[in-house]
Homo-oligomer: A and B are copies of this chain.
Amino acid sequence: MNSKTEITMKDIAEALGLSRSTVSRALQGHPHISADTKAQVMDEAKRLGYQYNAMAASLRKKKSNTIGLIVPRISRYYQSAVITAIQNRLHENRYNLMICQSNESPEIEKELVDALFASRVEGLIVSTTLYTTDFSVFDIFARSGRPLVFFDRTPKSYPAHKIQGDDYKGGYLAADHLLRQGCRNIAYIGGATTCSIYRERYDGYRDALANYGIVPDEEMVFFHDLTPENAVKTFDGILRMKKELDAIFAGNDTIALALVTHAKKLGMRLPDELKIVGYSNDPLTDVVNPSITSVEQHPYEVGEQSASLMLGLIGGTIKPGKNYISVTIPVELVERESSQKMADTVII
């Protein structure tokens, strides 16, 4: 019918012989407006099919009620779990979330930062790409005083609020566990070191080994894209070197699963011959055979903390002054079959 012209408050006002201010206030439930007028306005709004224009209101109020979020990929279990937590928390507080994917591309990441800024999001939550090294793209938020919170993949040297898992501890726990299970030749396959989380997990791994007087063998430590294909290739490479190998600490659960499957195909008996530990505690680690030991990062907690921090910063209930808040969420090891000592479990 009326696809050309939008019904606005002005239309309601004119239809009722009221002013636009009164209509606006009535619709907001302002206390100075009489109950009678409010009812009239509501009715007329419904009758005309009036729809609130949040953009116009945002412009005037300088308040968009929207937070921006940039992640490399929404498909990964951990990231999507964090996002869900963030969105739930924001939704409770009547905030919208604009979710964007950088696809691990720093260029796209920059475009998204600018686009979200232009859309006047009130704050930005980010997990960077693996290859982001120039963090100045985030400066516009810092400069304009709009809150900026990083989670998971946080920039080591860039000043900003950060919520992250305890990656050092995660690496330590994983390696220590494998050592306790009797392993002494533990490989590490992590992601690109431009991203600090893999470096920190390595540090934890290294320090755990040190407790046992072991220095990591450079040839058993890998940093590369964590795709199943790459992981399998790396694994085959290790085997070709004819080195002793009794365990692998994998950078994520997807490749841990790929390694488990590949090792089984090669006829290795798991976990007797080879123990594997993954990272993130993806639900699938629990439903495969053997189930895979992994490091729980509590994504829901990370998300809640990120969202709460953001809301606090926007609402002014959190005033960090010149300081930056850094929250480290504890991690814990979830032991499953893939790292059991011999004879503890039977794998079919």
Residues of A in contact with B (beta carbons under 8 Å apart): 1, 3, 6, 49, 51-56, 58-59, 64, 66, 73-75, 77, 80-81, 83-84, 87-88, 91, 96-101, 103, 108, 111, 115, 117-120, 140, 143-145, 228, 254, 257-258, 260-261, 264-265, 267, 283-284, 287-289, 348
Contact = CB atoms under 8 A, between A and B. Distances in A.
A284 B257 contact: yes
Given A51-B140, A55-B58, A84-B101, A96 B74 contact: no
A55 B61 CA distance: 12
Given A96-B98, A257-B288, A261-B287, 11 more contacts: A51-B117, A51-B144, A54-B119, A74-B80, A88-B103, A98-B99, A257-B284, A257-B287, A261-B289, A265-B348, A289-B289
B55 A59 contact: yes
Contacts of A84: 73-75, 101, 103
Contacts of A54: 115, 118-120
A257 B286 CA distance: 10
A290 to B, nearest CB: 10
B119 A99 contact: no
A120 B119 CA distance: 12
8 A-B pairs with the lowest CB-CB distances in the bound complex, closest first = A3-B145, A75-B80, A54-B118, A99-B99, A258-B287, A52-B118, A261-B289, A54-B119
B55 A120 contact: yes
A83 B91 contact: no
Contacts of A284: 254, 257, 284
Contacts of A99: 74, 98-100
A345 to B, nearest CB: 11
A77 B1 CA distance: 40
B120 A100 contact: no
A287 B228 contact: yes
Given A98-B98, A120-B54, A287-B257, A49 B115 contact: no
Contacts of A267: 348
A70 to B, nearest CB: 12
Contacts of A97: 100
A179 to B, nearest CB: 27
A291 to B, nearest CB: 8
Contacts of A118: 51-54
Given A54-B118, A118-B53, A267-B348, A87 B59 contact: no
A79 to B, nearest CB: 9
A91 B120 contact: no
A3 B257 CA distance: 49
Nearest to A75: B80
Contacts of A288: 257, 261, 288
Contacts of A87: 100-101
A113 to B, nearest CB: 11
Nearest to A259: B287
Contacts of A52: 118
